[in-house]
Amino acid sequence: MKIIVFDLDDTLIYTECFYNKAIAQLIALISETTFPNNLSVEAILKRYKEIDKINFKQFQYSIGRIEKTFIKTIEVFCSNNEYVLKKAKKLVDSILKLVPTLIPGTIDVLNNLNKDENNRLFLFTAGNLKIQKEKVKLNNLNQYFDEIFYSISKTLKDWQRVKNILKERYKYRRKLEFISIGDNYARDIIHPFELGFRCFLVKGNADFSGYFEKEKHCDSYKLLNKLSDIFSYL
């Protein structure tokens, strides 16, 4: 039996593009406010990432991290300009109202995998519980998975918890193959690989390089240019 564990954001649904759009708006807001200092986009973006990496250690994938990073970046460049701070908060609120859409081909992949009685599909997603559940609900994804695991993070401990639950559920099966499919090298490849998962990295746009204190190397995974490429291996 194949136990296939999918990631959600930027694996099944578009998410990073929304945050990129918000960051671009933030940079434009700072550029306008700091005129005529003529700060480069690169300089602002570099400082934004430095601040976000610090906040990530404490808040991980919560929406609170995004708000704190936005506000701190504004404070650094705009000296606590109340007008700009209010605009930044509205920008964060607008992100919460966005509805991430399915990546083309997602439903076909899930349907085809579910046709094989030897497959069991699960979803493991990290982030703000309310927001992640809303993403799943709005895209009608519940019906494709035997169970959905929600967590604030995807540490080795989190992955171990998920694997233990699945091993116990299917302990009557003689042979189990655990598979992880996701877009993030640190979250979806490294930890599950350590636990014996067969790993597939979906090529995406999210960049979390440098966000994790210890990023171990793993060369035993397959890179998928798109999700449907999984059928070349399963």
The DSSP bridge partners found for residue 71 are: none
The whole domain housing 62 covers: 16-97
Q: Name residues whose C-beta falls within 8 Å of residue 148's C-beta, 6 or more positions apart in sequence.
A: 122, 123, 124, 125, 136, 141, 142
Q: Are residues 79 and 115 in the same domain?
A: no
Q: Are residues 23 and 7 in the same domain?
A: no
**Single-letter amino acid, residue 184:** N
Q: Are residues 107 and 37 in the same domain?
A: no
> What percent of the chain is modeled with pLDDT above 90?
41
| Between 168 and 26, residue with greater pLDDT | 168
Return the number of other C-beta atoms located less than 10 Å from residue 178's C-beta: 20
Q: Are residues 89 and 45 in the same domain?
A: yes
Angstrom CA distances, 202 to 11, 35, 169, stand at 7, 40, 27
pLDDT, average across residues 161-182 = 94
Helices (H), 98-170: 106-114, 129-138, 156-169
Give residue 62's pLDDT: 58
Does residue 217 register a pLDDT over 70?
no
Read off the pLDDT of residues 15-67 as tens digits, 9 standing for 90 and up. 877 777 777 887 777 777 765 566 677 788 888 888 888 877 776 665 567 77
Q: Are residues 185 and 113 in the same domain?
A: yes
For the chain, the farthest-separated pair of C-alpha atoms sits apart, in whole angstroms, at 69
Q: Are residues 118 and 215 in the same domain?
A: yes
- The tokens of 61 are what? 């994938």
Return the number of other C-beta atoms located less than 10 Å from residue 37's C-beta: 10
CATH code, domain carrying 200:
3.40.50.1000
Give residue 16's pLDDT: 73
Does residue 150 register a pLDDT over 60?
yes
Q: Are residues 151 and 194 in the same domain?
A: yes
Last residue of a domain, one of 71, 97, 123: 97
> What percent of the chain is modeled with pLDDT above 70?
85
Closest CA to 9 of 111, 166, 139, 108: 139
> Picking from 33-37, 93-97, 174-178, which range would have the lowest pLDDT averaged per residue?
33-37
Give residue 34's pLDDT: 61
Inter-residue contact 25 to 45 (CB < 8 Å): no
Give residue 139's pLDDT: 94
Q: Which residue has the tokens 């035997």?
A: 146
CA distance 2 to 177: 5
Q: Which residue has the tokens 């350590």?
A: 194
Does residue 209 register a pLDDT over 70?
no
Closest CA to 114 of 138, 137, 143: 143
Q: Are residues 122 and 93 in the same domain?
A: no
Last residue of a domain, one of 75, 97, 119: 97
Does residue 77 register a pLDDT over 60?
yes
Last residue of a domain, one of 60, 77, 97: 97
Q: Are residues 145 and 198 in the same domain?
A: yes
CA distance 227 to 116: 17
Q: Are residues 8 and 24 in the same domain?
A: no
Give residue 179's pLDDT: 97
Give residue 120's pLDDT: 97
What is the Cα 76 distance to its own chain's centre? Answer: 27
User: Looking at the 3D structure of the chain, how many domains does it have?
Assistant: 2
pLDDT band at 181 (very low <50, low <70, confident <90, very high): very high
Q: Are residues 142 and 165 in the same domain?
A: yes
**Single-letter amino acid, residue 155:** T
Return the number of other C-beta atoms located less than 10 Å from residue 92's C-beta: 18
Q: Are residues 117 and 197 in the same domain?
A: yes
